[in-house]
Structure 1
Amino acid sequence: AGLIYGPGSAEGHRLDHLRRHVQNQPKRPGKHGVFDGGMQGALKTIDDAFRRAQKEQRTTKTIDRNRTIYTVDLGKRIGFVGGQDGGRRRNPMARRVRLVLEGKRVITAYPM
């Protein structure tokens, strides 16, 4: 879809940050979105979400300074809500993706 994953984030690279969202972190406070399908599934889902966002399909868009924040409803299960809050709620399924971009550079993306 033309998205760019480059250096940045506390982990050093955006792909390393994204990798945190392919497995649950049950002890993490709050909610933690986890993609189905490992890293490959996450990247495919993010591309699908970005394509829908560009067409404004089932998408909300917010601008925060130089970042664009999309919330895209993919209409099917794409992962689940983990972390401590998700665990208390028996890890409900996630159908939406939050996608935070600077231009086409991915800052973060996670299921919700």
Structure 2
Amino acid sequence: MTVYQEARLRNQEDDIARAERESLEVGAKPIPATKSSIDALERVVLDASASARDCTVCMEEIDAGSEAIRMPCSHVYHSDCIVRWLQTSHMCPLCRYHMPCEYL
């Protein structure tokens, strides 16, 4: 490799490192789901025969007989937990399913 090629490679590596730093500085902001899409989510009551499920938002068990919300992707969460989550981010915390949102 010639001196010219080495210098060119270093410049490319410097450019890539700078681009990575700058992209991290921009700070992507989460986009909330629309209120109407949150209101339309399926409310379910887990019965005693259902296997134990954990809410991955709060990491607590969803008790049998308690109200929960089933997302369109079929993941189930405590109602309060997923509503708060979706008011901040329009994506399912497990699979990143996209709920309808309004771009800001």
Q: What TM-score, normalized to structure 1?
A: 0.27
Bigger CA radius of gyration: 2
- Considering fraction of residues, name the structure with more helix: 2
Q: What TM-score, normalized to structure 2?
A: 0.28
